[in-house]
A = this chain, B = another copy of it.
Amino acid sequence: MKKYTEMSPVELKEELETLRSTYKGFEEAGFEFNMARGKPSPAQLDLSEDIINNLPWDKGYLTESGDDVRNYGLIDGIPEAKKLMAEMLECDPLQVVVFGNASLNIMYDVVDWAFVFGIDGEKPWGRQESVKFLCPVPGYDRHFSITEGFGIEMINIPMTGSGPDMDMVEKYVNNDPTVKGIWCVPKYSNPQGISYSDETVRRFAALTPAAKDFRIFWDNAYCVHHLYDDESRQDRILNILAECEKAGHPDMVYQFASTSKITFAGSGISCMSSSVKNLDEIRTHLSIQTIGYDKINQWRHVKFLKNRAGIEEHMKKHADILRPKFEVVMKKLDEELIPLGLGSYRRPNGGYFVSYEAPAGTAKDIVGKAKAAGVVMTGAGAPFPYKKDPDDSVIRIAPSYPEVDELEKAMDVFVCCVKLAYIEKHI
């Protein structure tokens, strides 16, 4: 197979004719496929069917603390749910507060509390002259929307194969007191599926921030979301809370997680994990903000998932559904684009995305072409602050929602769009 990058203009033009005809066929087929969001498929949602109507409620509603989960109380979560989430995050239940259905909402609240009330006695961010966040890119668009919403200046930090560029992170955090936070998805990162190396985690823990109110926003969204049973293909990352403690910075990190992609997207439970000191500060905010979170749903999750082993067992079923879908995406990229010298990607061992780096300057065009042919992708630029991809290259592929056969067709469309966009740009 001759690489496009090595073809003459004449050869490229010949290819173009064929591709245009193929593309026209796709347009006429009237496809409607969606690879835009990390949405679980109905088959994945069915895995948690028992939560909805088949739990052993006969043992009643009293937690081990003697509280009725159906009534007011326990604003920071039922003990059993704290324990469950602590097992998942490998920390102490004392380091956990259980919230409602969305960890994104916790992250928003944490930024908001810092903005309005300040962290640990420091001036509220809303009254500081300048507040900056570091944003490893490509990253999660919803993180960036939060900081953008609060008018926080976002600084791109390039991702490497072992996590964010730590030289840059250290330079900013240790010297600039206006840098207050960094968004991290440390395991199976969104969108690249990169897991931070031990060295990266240790360098995070060893940061000596110029700002007392600097915090690492550690969104461990995919902590148990492996694609493979084989342990050699399961990424492991160091425990950030333990590392920060060891390094003498126990209060430097806010960790977030949820069961949104374990049980139900939007009807799971979420938690925050941090030092007791940080959590105490957060409890004072919670006591004003709410009467508490949905403890019946916390109870449901405890009864259904039970413990760490129960979660792992359950996640294998998700992997069995997701793995073939990821493999379709990777196979198409491997067979149709990589040999032509068109773009690149990293092979993830877990998470929800494949991040394809298209030839520079073509991502927007590709996503637009795909959409016109009935295949909705995440918007080009979305994985970057202010939706600006400096190279117009990164395209996030979310294979979870469509069925395998749909995905094959959708990837055929995608591949065709990449080729078209490349050629149109280069002739």
Contact = CB atoms under 8 A, between A and B. Distances in A.
Query: Which of A55, A70, A115, A142 has the most C-beta atoms of chain B within 10 angstroms of its own C-beta?
Result: A70
B265 A145 contact: no
A55 B45 CA distance: 18
A224 to B, nearest CB: 19
Interface in A50-74: 52-55, 57, 61, 68-73
Interface string A282-296: 000001111111111
Interface residues of A, number: 49
Contacts of A108: 288-290
Contacts of A267: 69-70, 294-297
A149 B149 CA distance: 22
A150 interface: yes
Contacts of A105: 289-291
Contacts of A339: none
Contact of A116 (B112, B142, B288): B112
A139 to B, nearest CB: 16
A140 B267 CA distance: 30
A37 B102 CA distance: 28
Given A145-B288, A294-B294, A72 B265 contact: yes
21 contacts: A37-B72, A39-B71, A53-B53, A53-B57, A70-B264, A70-B265, A71-B266, A72-B265, A72-B266, A100-B100, A104-B289, A105-B291, A112-B116, A116-B116, A145-B288, A146-B288, A146-B289, A266-B291, A266-B296, A267-B294, A267-B297
Given A101-B294, A105-B291, A108-B290, 13 more contacts: A39-B71, A39-B72, A42-B68, A45-B68, A45-B71, A70-B265, A71-B265, A104-B290, A116-B116, A145-B288, A266-B294, A266-B295, A266-B296
